[in-house]
Amino acid sequence: MSTRIPVIVLGGTGYVAGEVLRLVLGHPQFELAGVMSDSQPGEAVGKAFPHLAAALGGVVFESQAAITQRIASLPRSAVFSAAPHGVSAALIDTLLQAAEAAGTQPRVVDISADYRYSSADAYAAVYKHAHGAPARIAQFTCAVPEHLAHASTPHVAHPGCFATATLLASVPLLTLDLVEPRLFVSGVTGSTGSGRKPVDGTHHPTRHSDLYSYNALAHRHVPEITACAAAASGVHADFAFVPHSGPFARGIHVTVQATLKRPLTGEEVLVKLREYYARAPFVRVDKSAPRVKDVASSNYAHLGAAADGRSVAVMCAIDNLNKGAAGGAVQWMNRLFGLAETTGLTAPAPGWT
C-alpha cells in the first residue's frame, strides 16, 4: 500500500494500550494519529510509557471530543480500543456514529470484552451490567485469527488472553473430533494480565515466588471460550477452567486435557496439530514442552501435546499482552486492511525476560 494507515488508540494508559502503541510504532504500514485518554488529556504519552518515549516524541493524550473529530475527518482509520470492559462499547458506538455522519470508514478492533458476545443478554449475564451499545454487536466478529480466515463484519472483537491460549489448544481437538466434548483447563498467567492498577493479586511481594489459583471453575472467560470454541469447531463443549496467578509479569501457559474418542499417541496428536495449523504463521507445534520465555513479548504461540491412548493433554504458551491482546488485534487489523497478517509482527521473543 502506498500510503500509511492512520491509527487511533483508545483507553491509552493501560498495559494493553502500551503494547498496541509499541507495535504500531514499529509497523511499516501504520502511522499513529492519536491516543485517547479522557483522564490525562494534554499529558505526554511517553510519561505513561517511558520505554516508548523516544519513539513517541511529543505525542500527547487527547480527549474524546478531539479523537471523535479526528476519526470523522480521516477517510479511513484503524481504531484499537483498549478501553475498560463496560466502557469500550459505548465509546466505540459514539465514535462510529460520528464517522457514519461524516461518511468516513474506520475499522475497529476491540480488545475489551464488550463485543465478544453474540447478544447483549449473554454479555450482561457475565459482566452483570447492561451492554453499552446493543445495536452495534452485529457489526463485530469475535474469533482468534487462526480460527477464522476472514471476518464477515466490518469490525472485530479479539478474545481475551486466557481464551486465546485455551482456544488455540482446544479447537483442533474439537474440530477434528478427537475428544469427548468435556475439556479440563489449567492456566497460569503473568501479573500484567490483571491490568495496570495495583491490586492484591498483582502486587509483586504477593506473587513473587508463589503460585495460586483463583476463581476456580467460575472464571468469567469460560462463557467466552465456550462460545468461541463452538463457533470455530461446530462443537458445543464444556470447559472446566482453573486459572492461576504466576510469579512473572508476561505470558500465559495453559494445559488442556480431554478424553480421546479413539486411541492416539502423542506423536499422532502432534501431527494432527501441525496439519491443522499448517497455514498459521504464528503457531509452532513441537514435541518439546512450550515455555513462556520462548514466546513472551512476541505474537507467537507454541503448542505441545502428550497422549496415552485414552487421554490427551495439549499445552500452549503465549504472551498475554501480545498474542493474547495487542498482537492478535494488530493481526486482525492487518487483515481488515488487506495486509499480510504477519506485517509488523514477526519479531521473535527476546528470551531471558
Confirm if 256 and 169 have CB atoms less than 8 A apart.
yes
Q: Are both 175 and 114 inside the same structural domain?
A: no
Q: Are both 265 and 305 inside the same structural domain?
A: yes
> Is 90 exceeded by the pLDDT of residue 205?
no
> Is 60 exceeded by the pLDDT of residue 2?
no
What cell was used for 33?
A: 494519529
What cell was used for 281?
A: 504463521
252 lies in some domain: yes
Q: Are both 63 and 192 inside the same structural domain?
A: no
Q: 120: pLDDT confidence band, cut at 50, 70 and 90?
A: very high
Model confidence pLDDT, tens digit, residues 227-244: 999 999 999 999 999 999
Give the residue from 82, 83, 131, 73 showing the smallest Cα distance to 105: 73
Is 161 one of the annotated active-site residues of the chain? yes
Give the residue from 194, 195, 174 showing the smallest Cα distance to 183: 174
- The stretch 135-140 carries a mean pLDDT of 98
> Is 90 exceeded by the pLDDT of residue 196?
no
Please state, in angstroms and rounded to a whole number, the distance separating the CA atoms of residues 257 and 271: 17
Q: Which pLDDT does position 1 carry in this prediction?
A: 46
What cell was used for 351?
A: 528470551
Of 8-12, 68-72, 167-171, 191-195, where does mean pLDDT reach its minimum? 191-195
- The stretch 287-308 carries a mean pLDDT of 97
Question: How many structural domains is the chain composed of?
Answer: 2
Q: Which pLDDT does position 39 carry in this prediction?
A: 85
Model confidence pLDDT, tens digit, residues 320-336: 999 999 999 999 999 99
48 lies in some domain: yes
Q: Are both 213 and 249 inside the same structural domain?
A: yes
Give the residue from 192, 307, 205, 187 showing the smallest Cα distance to 255: 187
Q: Are both 138 and 188 inside the same structural domain?
A: no
Measure Cα distances from 125 to 112, 131, 346 in Å: 16, 10, 38
> Is 80 exceeded by the pLDDT of residue 63?
yes
Residue 260 DSSP symbol = B
Please state, in angstroms and rounded to a whole number, the distance separating the CA atoms of residues 155 and 221: 21
Q: Which three-class secondary structure state does DSSP give residue 124? A: helix
Q: Which pLDDT does position 335 carry in this prediction?
A: 98
- The stretch 130-153 carries a mean pLDDT of 97
Residue among 142, 161, 228, 316 flagged as catalytic: 161
Q: Which pLDDT does position 206 carry in this prediction?
A: 85
> Which residue range forms the structural domain that includes residue 126?
5-142
Model confidence pLDDT, tens digit, residues 256-278: 999 999 999 999 999 999 999 99
331 lies in some domain: no
Model confidence pLDDT, tens digit, residues 142-181: 999 999 999 999 999 999 999 999 999 999 999 999 999 9
